[in-house]
Chains A and B, each alone.
Chain A
Amino acid sequence: MDESELLPIRNFLAEIAPFNELPSELLEECCRSLSIGYYSKMSGAVPLSSENPMLYIVRSGAFEVRNAEGELVDRLGAGDYFGFPSLMSGESISNKVLILEDGLVYHLTLALFDKLRAGSRAFDRFFNRAYAKRLRHQDAQHQRELLTANRISSLMVMAPVSVDHHTPVSDAAKLMRQHRVSSALVVNNQQLVGILTDRDLRNRVLAEELGGHVPVSQAMTSAPVTIDANALVFEAMLQMSQHNIHHLPVLDNGQPVGMVTSTDIIRSQSSQPILLIGEIERQQDVASLIHVSKQIPLLLQNLISADARAEEIGRILTSVTDALTRRLIQLNQALLGEPPIAFCWLAFGSQGRQDQMACSDQDNGLLLAEEPDSSATAYFDALTHAVCSGLNDCGYVFCPGDIMAQNPAWRMSLENWQQKFSNWVNTPDPKALMHASIFFDMRCVFGPAPLFAALQDKVLADTQDNDIFLAALTGNALSESPPLGFFRQFVLERDGSEEKGIDLKHRGSVLINDIARVYALSSGLKEVNTAKRIRVLIANGILTRKDGLNLADALEFIAHMRLANQGRQYENREALSNYLRPQALSSLMRHQLRDAFKVVHDAQAALKLKFMRSF
């Protein structure tokens, strides 16, 4: 046989690690020594033999490795391997390999496997690592790294330079020079009381012609803006940008533990959400704001290709929307003059939940501190029309349901808003609730926090433990079901000629939002972001840890699929949609997606049991 004869097999192996590292004559020998088998789902599991261990290379299909306790160890698709742990350890096989979807598998003998390991260091290293990883995975399966890389704690300076508030500024300056830093924390009894920066030394000491003997407490910036060690990096960027500062002390449980500077962040971030937000805040007129907003689709695309978590992408995109909204309000206030009464700009729906993605429309309202007179009504009419059409021009199209602050129906005093919510809660007409449910995911984007709190507290007091309302809201949440039947059909129609897609939004994400909303309103939770709601529900014991984590995983997975799908559509210059064509999925992803929908289905059933028992 010459080498071109097994070309399709050779090409496959040459593309997967670590076979791509093999010298070509070894790869050739490998192709010629393989044995090909096919495993059917009907037979349940791959029959593994301890006497004749082999390396199994998955060519097609989907498989699942489970340990002796039945716990999931790994999921495998084309280009993945199994069987190597016993090849490497020489121990008998304890894991089971279940067949999720019929598949073709290449077998490689122990003798050849050893020869390849001896012949290629890269090959050997790959399987050593895979083996070590498998061992680790089996130990600490449930430990999930959540956003560690993007946490403030990952880039802050530990043990920052700190000085007592009585220290003379000259001593503090020497300390800063010694450590080559531009700022120091000021503490009193281990509590953070201020921050001293180069700028403070210039503006409050030198420029005031004070000597080096003045105590730090006189030169420092008191009660500085701080950030929690668990915050996301981008949230720190947001703080800095909003307050126009460059240093953020990091607190853990109220204790100062570190410091982040804008330089640290710029160094760590090559993507530009914060630059965009900064640019938004610098614009001086609506036209240039609209121009800046044209970068948002590109930002989304960058985030998708950087493989950011869907939850973070939602939060980042929503921060941009919030910044745009705030800037539009400020610019228009500058034109219209100071508002006659205090107000809050409310965001509902996806902006409220901080899970905006591509092609979001706007859902907003205005909360007024008191009943407006005719001149105040005219003022807010002008303001809201200007802001809403500004948002429309920035790509957040007018809400088809007219849920917008420019609609007088959604521009009300605190008392009227409270009344409105009471009506929904006390006479929950299912049809009205269907439209009203997005109002319950509300967040204040602009305006005094106490005013918003007065509304939110009242709403939560109304909804908490309100059985009739919760049953109606549950009924509403169950009106759609995840497309599990679709998969049954899909498996039957092996041709894949099915052209319809799966609506990942309305039969996936929305359902999880609905479920989390019912639980949140039933227990008076202020959180509106679905992922955060689920985390708090787990912490409060309202959801079991297992169910909660499963639901959070399903939420992230479905949202991720939605984003990846839109990323692909964007690259192909197709119209962005929430429809996923099953042909675009590998069989492994199809299984994960089906599992995610199964979780949603189970969570719906649990919700029904909990809130609709008596109806």
Chain B
Amino acid sequence: MSLWQQLSLAWRAQGASPLLREYYQSLRPLLQQSLADVPLIAIDMEMTGLNPQQNQIISVGLVPLTQRQLPLAMAAHQLVGISGSVGQSAIIHGIVDRHLQEQSLEQQQLLPWLLRQVMGKLMIFHHAPLDLAFLSTLMQRTNGTSMRFPVVDTLQIERRRLLRECHILPQGCLRLGACRQRYHLPVYAAHNALMDAIACGELFLAQTASINPDVAVAEFLWWP
């Protein structure tokens, strides 16, 4: 399995941008590492909506997870300039157009920035498909190539765990806040990409806290 992953990694790296290829290669040694050793990075993004074709990424928060800790000194929060206005979505994430004019990246600069941040680290998302769809669409637009790599998805981990205990999952029980409540993690009221990335990293710590740290990280990977 892990061999196949490595092979397909190499295969998929064909035609990718040099930076993306570098990221694929940096992942290769990580796939066999144990949970305790592997460098990870928790990521969350805010978008203007839920449709990758129509909506845009407006901010990215990330915090590395090394040696089972989240060092906030290494955390980053990046705003991204968009074409048009944030519109109604400002109600949720609190970012208004004025913010985006200050210290923000252009859309085409986002992927290079992000790839440099995550180099040598596996990414953790809560509900990865959505974030990955946005990133992938952005890659198509700016480079004309696709992008697929394995990530950790705390929502998937939680779903698997809950399904072992009961067969029907109540609606909403996999939302980040609901998952965190089950581990007695504090409620973070703010809706910003950085706090949500931290919240996601904490959830992963909690989910894996009682698991043998020698288990391979490959057990937790999800392939889009």
Contact = CB atoms under 8 A, between A and B. Distances in A.
Contacts of A59: 186
A61 B210 CA distance: 15
Contacts of A495: 181-182
Nearest to A38: B205
A31 B71 CA distance: 10
Nearest to B199: A8
A6 B72 CA distance: 9
A104 B190 contact: no
Interface string B157-194: 00000000000000000000000011111111110101
B182 A39 contact: no
Contact of A36 (B72, B183, B187, B192): B72
Contacts of A486: none
A33 B72 contact: yes
Contacts of B192: 4-5
A222 interface: no
A77 to B, nearest CB: 11
Given A7-B195, A61-B184, A494-B182, A43 B210 contact: yes
Given A5-B77, A33-B73, A494 B198 contact: no
A59 B180 CA distance: 14
A494 B183 contact: yes
B195 A8 contact: yes
Contacts of B181: 495
B216 interface: no
B70 A36 contact: yes
A39 B183 CA distance: 11
Contacts of A31: 72
Q: Most A CB atoms within 10 A — which of B68, B184, B186, B206?
A: B184
B209 A43 contact: yes
A102 B195 CA distance: 21
B209 A8 contact: no
A318 interface: no
Nearest to B173: A495
A514 interface: no
A103 interface: yes
B186 A12 contact: yes
B184 A103 contact: yes
A532 B188 CA distance: 48
Contacts of B77: 1, 5
A36 B61 CA distance: 16
Interface centre among A12, A33, A101, A102 (most CB of B within 10 A): A102
Contacts of B9: none
B140 to A, nearest CB: 30
A5 B72 CA distance: 11
Contacts of B73: 32-33, 35
Contacts of B194: 1, 5-6
Contacts, number: 87
Interface string A427-443: 00000000000000000
B139 to A, nearest CB: 26
Contact of A60 (B68, B69, B186): B186
Nearest to A47: B68
B39 interface: no
A38 B182 CA distance: 14
B185 to A, nearest CB: 6
A49 to B, nearest CB: 11
Contacts of B202: 36, 38, 104
Interface in A51-68: 59-61
B76 interface: yes
B71 A35 contact: yes
Given A1-B194, A7-B190, A60-B184, A42 B209 contact: yes
A283 to B, nearest CB: 52
Given A6-B195, A104-B202, A1 B76 contact: yes
B75 interface: yes
B120 interface: no
A408 B85 CA distance: 86
B184 A101 contact: yes
B81 interface: no
Given A494-B182, A495-B182, A32 B195 contact: no
Nearest to B184: A60
B145 to A, nearest CB: 32
A494 B70 CA distance: 24
A494 B184 contact: yes
B117 to A, nearest CB: 14
A60 B185 contact: yes
Nearest to A112: B73
A107 interface: yes
Nearest to B65: A36
Nearest to A39: B209
B10 to A, nearest CB: 35
Contacts of A36: 69-70, 72, 198, 201-202, 205
B206 A38 contact: yes
A40 B72 contact: no
Chain B CB within 10 Å, residue with most, of A1, A4, A7, A36: A36
B19 to A, nearest CB: 24
Contacts of B189: 8
B209 A5 contact: no
Nearest to A42: B210
Contacts of B184: 60-61, 101-103, 494, 587
Contacts of A4: 190, 192
A37 interface: yes
Contacts of A104: 185-186, 202, 206
A48 interface: no
A489 to B, nearest CB: 15
Contact of A37 (B75, B76, B182, B205): B205
A494 B210 CA distance: 15
Nearest to B99: A2
B190 A8 contact: yes
The interface centre, meaning the residue of B181, B187, B206 with most chain A CB atoms within 10 A of its CB, is: B206
Interface in A482-532: 494-495
6 shortest A-B CB distances, which residue pairs? A40-B209, A38-B205, A42-B210, A36-B70, A8-B188, A40-B210
Interface of A: 1, 4-9, 12, 31-43, 59-61, 101-104, 107, 494-495, 587
30 contacts: A1-B76, A1-B77, A1-B194, A4-B192, A8-B190, A32-B73, A32-B75, A35-B71, A36-B72, A36-B201, A36-B205, A37-B70, A38-B202, A40-B206, A40-B210, A41-B210, A59-B186, A60-B184, A60-B185, A60-B186, A61-B184, A101-B184, A102-B184, A102-B210, A103-B184, A104-B185, A104-B186, A104-B202, A495-B181, A587-B184
